[in-house]
Amino acid sequence: MLRSYLFFSIDYEKLWLLTCLLFSLSPVCQSKDIRNNVTNLQLLENCTVIEGHLKILLMFKTEDFRGISYPKLTVVTDFLLLFRVYGLESLSDLFPNLTVIRGNNLFFNYALVLFEMVHLKELGLHSLMNITRGAVRLEKNPDLCYLSTLDWSKILDTVEDNYIVSNKNNQECGDVCPGTAQGKTTCPQTTINGQFGERCWTQNHCQRMCPSTCKHRACTQHGHCCHDQCLGGCSEAGNASRCVACQKFQHQDTCVDRCPQGYYTFKGWRCCSVTGVCFPLCRLNCTPCAGLCPKMCSGVKIVDSVTAAQALRGCTVLNGSLVIKIRGGNNIAAELEANLGQLEEITGNLTIKRAYALVSLSFLRKLRVIRGETPTQDGNYSFYALDNQNLRQLWDWDKHNLTILQGRMFFLHNSKLCMSEIRKMEVVTGTKERGIKNEIGRTDRDQASCETQFLNFTTVRTQSDKILLKWEPFWPPDYRDLLGFMVLYKEA
């Protein structure tokens, strides 16, 4: 088994890895923040993979980008962002072979962002086949066309979180796909919002689409399916050593399902040996951890997006408080579990506030202790749940144990959360004797069917056009809980 190691002499927040043995023909580059001058794009020379993000921004002098091209770049592991780059009209020549944007770390939930690109006329990323995680945001690009001709569902798993607004009106664009001027249909055709049409990036480049039988949108230029471990494309069908990118991990020059014995996963996509990892400050000897190595995070952490959650990835102890108020997004529960699922202890308080995307708190699957050393500002509360319209379950109390050492709990306006859930939490966490009745609002559970009672019918009389039902009087312990009766029927 692979062992975890704790390096006592390094600050986990500032830990950085210098090198990793990688047997590839072209270099892997780290995150690039390119701004001010077009000549700074030379930093991308020879880069095949950007291991991190790529930002190109704030080039206010109108530049001539003709002849500038970085054809070796095929993968960005985090996100691609362009902002106010004057003179750039297309990415077609700049990144002709960019195939995969992984989205390991996102820019506020987005993997591809183009904002206020005043001269951009087309995206032109004609080799882009896969955005593995995250959405697309294209906003305030007044000259940007060829948007209605793109089928993003062939690139992303879901398009519901895409934000494409305030670009050039489609009716003013006159987008023409290759072959259209000659009366030919050469590009793939799909239906988007009921509109059937050709899909292309520019007047010279169709949108590439693989046969439905190919996994992970990976096929050759001629449409032959790649090996199952490939992502985005390959140069030879069925060969795991000829992939553009890997679905899971790259070991030497081959895509694999998991790293072999003696190697460790690095940056979520490649395999490194222990001897291939360098630390700037580290003792010669390391002490093995008993299981997962602990990671201490500090401060008041506000999780209002996937990006904010990523900052807590791997944290086991939060020396501070956690506020979750995430309102929407795709696959939020899985994203939160991936980033917050290792958290075991919170020294301050836990607040769940207007988190409309949540139906359960089970993503905090390892949380065992809330110390309550820093209660909320509006009361001595260590757990605070306010206005979570879709929250139905806290945890599965048959499998989860949570202790709140100090402070009380507060619930209000959680309209689908049943009182039984709250009462169970009081017992399990040890806060039952600390609570005040009014701290659990009556607006909890008012839209949920929480309790079931059998009514004994005393009379059932049917006629040709009516039915008479009578039942014994029923009053709940609190008469205010009974709003009325509803009788449902169906024809026999």
Residue 10's pLDDT is: 38
40 shares a domain with 148: yes
- Give the CATH number of the domain where residue 269 resides: 2.10.220.10
Same domain, residue pair 244 and 360 = no
Same domain, 347 and 232: no
Residue 6 is predicted with a pLDDT of 41
Residues 121 and 157 in one domain: yes
pLDDT given at position 456: 79
102-106, 148-152, 276-280: lowest mean pLDDT where?
276-280
pLDDT of residue 408: 92
Q: If you search the block for the tokens 């691609």, which residue do you land on?
A: 80
> Up-side HSE of residue 290: CA atoms within 13 Å toward CB?
0
Q: What is the C-alpha to C-alpha distance for residues 162 and 135, in angstroms, rounded to an integer?
A: 5
Residue from 168, 157, 163 nearest 138 by CA = 163
Q: What is the pLDDT of residues 310-345, one digit of tens each?
A: 999 999 999 999 999 998 877 888 899 999 999 999
In the prediction, which pLDDT does 1 show? 36
Q: Do 302 and 428 fall within a single domain?
A: yes
For residue 360, give every residue at least 6 positions away whose Cβ sits within 8 Å of its Cβ, in sequence order, or none.
333, 391, 392, 393, 394, 395
27 and 137 share one domain: yes
Domain contains 492: no
Residue 272 has a pLDDT of 83
Are 301 and 289 in contact by the 8 Å Cβ rule? The answer is: no
Q: Which residue has the tokens 């006329």?
A: 121
**Which residue has tokens 């700074």?**
40
Q: Which amino acid is at 55?
A: K
Does 403 reside within a domain? Answer: yes
Confirm whether 353 is domain-assigned.
Answer: yes
205 within a domain of the structure (yes/no) = no
Q: Are 148 and 170 in contact (CB under 8 A)?
A: yes
Alpha carbons 195 and 252: distance in angstroms, whole number: 45
Residue 244 tokens read as 């553009």
14 part of a folded domain: no
User: Does residue 163 sit in the same domain as residue 258?
Assistant: no
3-state secondary structure of 275: helix
User: Residue 73 — φ and ψ, nearest 5°?
Assistant: -70, 120
Same domain, 194 and 219: no
* 186 and 51, same domain (yes or no): yes
Residues 141 and 100 in one domain: yes
**Tokens (6 digits) for 253:** 């020059």
For residues 302 and 324, what is the distance between their CA atoms, to the nearest angstrom?
A: 6
Average pLDDT, the chain: 86
Q: Could you tell me the two tokens for 211?
A: 């046969």
Measured between alpha carbons, how far is 34 from 52 in angstroms, rounded to an integer? 13
pTM over 0.95, yes/no: no
Is residue 354 located within the same domain as residue 397?
A: yes
Q: Nearest 10 degrees: CA dihedral of 305, 308, 314, 315?
A: -120
Can you tell me the distance from the alpha carbon of 60 to that of 78, in angstroms, rounded to the nearest whole number?
A: 25
When divided into structural domains, the chain yields a total of: 3
Among 437, 423, 320, which Cα is nearest to 375's?
Answer: 320
Write down the number of H helices and E strands in the chain. Answer: 3, 31
Secondary structure (3-state) at 264: strand
Question: Tens digit of pLDDT for each residue in 445-489?
Answer: 555 567 667 777 877 888 888 888 888 887 777 666 666 777 777
**Which of 397, 416, 439 is the endpoint of a domain?**
439
11 pLDDT more than 60: no
**Residues 22-49 pLDDT 10s:** 334 458 999 999 999 999 999 999 999 9
Specify the residue for token string 């990688």.
22
Where among 165, 198, 231 does a domain terminate? 198
Last residue of a domain, one of 249, 276, 303: 276
**Cβ-based neighbours of 1, under 8 Å, separated by 6 or more:** none
**Does residue 451 sit within a domain?**
no
Measure Cα distances from 306 to 236, 321, 332 in Å: 36, 18, 8
Q: Is residue 351 domain-resident?
A: yes
Q: Is residue 3 part of a domain?
A: no
Domain extent at residue 351: 294-439
CATH number of the domain to which 179 belongs:
3.80.20.20
Mean local confidence (pLDDT), 81-98: 97
- The per-residue b/e assignment along 170-180, b for 16 or more CB within 10 angstroms, e otherwise, is eeebebebbee
The reply to whether 190 and 153 lie within a common domain is yes
Strands 467-471 vs 322-324: parallel, antiparallel or unpaired? unpaired
Please, what's the b/e burial string for 247-282 (b: 16 or more CB within 10 A of its CB; e: otherwise)? Answer: bbbbbeebbbeebeeebbebbebbbbeeeeeeeeee
